[in-house]
């Protein structure tokens, strides 16, 4: 059978890291769809572990029952399935669609703590590397270009001001009919930036060979066009 142009092109690994609500998922998802790559939202995996811990009584306020969670790690199965209507992958936790639940403010408030745990990171990084074995993948997160795929052919690091990111998150929740105060969201964004950047294992930082993008004043179509340009250059 004749190969399509897309199949003949060299497959690469694309790592998109950056601050929370910087719009990196939208960019990553759009690019993956356009070029026929798999898209993986690694943050969704940390969110799914957080939801699991919440639903299994492994949180006491902000305290995590670390040993109990460690014992349960192998019971946590995370997968992605395409939602054909929305044209985006939904996150499944042990076979249940948890896409909405993992985006709640409750999960957002706790996920950074879960993602500081070494055994959680180790498990997630292993699963992510497995998913990227065949290349042809766009993965977004915090440590994709530094830890998960240090040899990725294209690495992008996305940033925008905390206020811009909080506004985006506010609009996103509002569009879904969820109530959330802008001030609370801004506080959460700033707090997560701090935890993500200061954690001991794989802190959020730009890989030396990543291309920096500040998209504070860019529209989604502009970002999309910019990223496509970077991709076309990378496959040359």
Looking at the DSSP bridge assignments, the partners of residue 213 are: 158
Cα separations in angstroms, 181 against 26, 94, 100, 172: 23, 32, 18, 12
| Closest to ligand DC by CB, 64 or 144 | 144
Residue 20 engages ligand DC in binding (rule: CB under 6 A): yes
Binding status of residue 169 toward ligand DC by CB under 6 A: no
Which DSSP string do the residues of the chain spell out, in sequence order? -PPPHHHHSPP-EEEEEESTTSSHHHHHHHHHHHHT-EEEEHHHHHHHHHHHHHHTT-EETTEE-HHHHHHHGGG--EEEEEETTTTEEEEEETTEE-TTGGGSHHHHHHHHHHTT-HHHHHHHHHHHHHHTTT--EEEEESSIIIII-TT-SEEEEEE--HHHHHHHHHHHHHHTT----HHHHHHHHHHHHHHHHH-SSS-S---TTPEEEE-TT--HHHHHHHHHHHHHHHH-
Select from 55-63, 71-79, 136-144, 164-172 the region that touches ligand DC (CB under 6 A). 136-144
Which of the stretches 138-146, 149-157, 159-167, 216-224 binds ligand DC when contact is defined by CB under 6 A?
A: 138-146
Is there binding between residue 164 and ligand DC (CB under 6 A)? no
Determine if 42 is a binding residue for ligand DC (CB under 6 A). yes
Among 47, 88, 127, 168, binds ligand DC (CB under 6 A): 47
Query: What does the per-residue mask of binding to ligand DC show for 48-87, with x meaning CB under 6 A?
Result: ----------------------------------------
Residue numbers 188-207 binding ligand DC by CB under 6 A? 192, 196
Which of 110-118, 170-178, 206-214, 228-236 is the region at the interface with ligand DC (rule: CB under 6 A)? 110-118
Closest to ligand DC by CB, 35 vs 111, is: 111
How many residues of this chain interact with ligand DC, rule: CB under 6 A? Answer: 14
Distance CA 84, CA 43 (A): 21
- Binding to ligand DC (CB under 6 A): which residues in 143-162? 143-144
CB of 42 to ligand DC, least distance (A): 4
Q: Which chain residues interact with ligand DC by CB under 6 A? A: 20, 42-43, 46-47, 111-112, 115, 141-144, 192, 196
């Amino acid at each position: 059978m004749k190969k399509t142009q897309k199949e003949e092109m060299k497959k690469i690994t694309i790592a998109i890291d950056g601050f929370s609500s910087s719009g990196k998922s939208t960019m990553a998802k759009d690019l993956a769809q356009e070029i026929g790559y798999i898209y993986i939202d690694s943050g969704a995996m940390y969110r799914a572990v957080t939801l699991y811990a919440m639903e299994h009584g492994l949180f006491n306020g902000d305290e995590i029952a670390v040993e109990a969670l460690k014992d349960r790690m192998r019971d946590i199965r995370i997968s992605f399935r395409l939602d054909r209507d929305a044209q985006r992958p939904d996150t499944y936790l042990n076979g249940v669609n948890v896409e909405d639940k993992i985006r709640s403010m409750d999960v957002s408030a706790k996920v950074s703590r879960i993602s500081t745990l070494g055994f959680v990171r180790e498990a997630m990084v292993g699963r992510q590397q497995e998913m990227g074995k065949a290349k042809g993948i766009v993965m977004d997160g915090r440590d994709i270009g530094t830890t998960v795929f240090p040899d990725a052919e294209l690495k992008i690091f996305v940033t925008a001001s905390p206020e811009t990111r909080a506004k985006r998150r506010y609009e996103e929740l509002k569009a879904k009919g969820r109530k959330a105060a802008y001030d609370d969201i801004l506080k959460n964004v700033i707090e997560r930036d701090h935890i993500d950047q200061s954690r001991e294992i794989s802190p959020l930082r730009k890989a030396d060979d990543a291309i920096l993008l500040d998209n504070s004043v860019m529209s989604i179509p502009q970002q999309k066009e910019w990223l496509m340009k970077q991709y076309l250059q990378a496959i040359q």
